[in-house]
Amino acid sequence: MNQTRRGFMGKAFGAVAGVGAVGALYAMKRSWDPLPSVKAAGFTTIDVSSCAENKLVVEKWRGKPIFVLRKTAEMVAAQDEAQNARDIIVEGAHFMIAIGLCTHLGCIPAYREDKTDFKCACHGGEFDSSGINTVLPPEKPLLIPPFKVTGSTVVLGEEGEVYKKMKESGLIA
């Protein structure tokens, strides 16, 4: 009996020490979280009024490239329903705004103005001018970052009304 009792106290002490270790692990986990300054810097404001038609503009948001493409009237006219749904309208003009990372393995696709599409050099994936995947391997369209349209500017990192609607309709995976 003595033997088991002693074994029990040793285990009980070990359990208490374990609780302390869990507390320390929590602090350690928190130490690896992104810093507040990193999170606060997660907003980028882009003025899209100066964007030229069919010229890709690349901005930076949270360290990632952001594609901003102002579409021509012909491009908009030729679009189908799915493509239209992804357009972001700023002061009447149609824009594609998306994170410029291929949804296959994260390379940056290049824009081909003559074909109005994107081609990824890494594994040959292609996307149309709305960022919808057309040629494998990517199986998903380019991601749309959280955005909010205010006048002629777009704030990335903030969830505006249009973005929320897009999200509800499942456009943003």
How many residues sit in the footprint of other proteins (CB under 8 A)? 23
Q: Tokens at residue 67, please?
A: 């594609």
The answer to whether 108 and 102 are in contact (CB under 8 A) is yes
Q: Look up tokens 């410029």; give the residue.
A: 100
Options 5-13, 100-108, 114-122, 123-131: segment touching other proteins (CB under 8 A)? 5-13
Least distance in Å: CB of 72 to other proteins? 28
- For 119-146, give one letter per residue: b (16+ CB within 10 A) or e: bbeeeebbbbbbbbbeeeebeebbebbb
Does residue 1 interact with other proteins by CB under 8 A?
A: no
Nearer to other proteins, 16 or 78 (CB): 16
Options 19-27, 96-104, 117-125, 136-144: segment touching other proteins (CB under 8 A)? 19-27
Does residue 77 interact with other proteins by CB under 8 A?
A: no
Q: Which of residues 22-41 bind other proteins (CB under 8 A)?
A: 23-24, 27-28, 30-33, 35-37
Does residue 50 interact with other proteins by CB under 8 A?
A: no
Is residue 103 classed exposed, middle or buried when 0-12, 13-18 and 19+ CB atoms within 10 A define those classes? Answer: buried
CA–CA dist 103, 172 (Å, integer): 13
Q: Tokens at residue 94, please?
A: 């149609």
Q: Which residues bind other proteins (CB under 8 A)?
A: 2, 5-6, 9-10, 12-13, 16-17, 19-20, 23-24, 27-28, 30-33, 35-37, 45
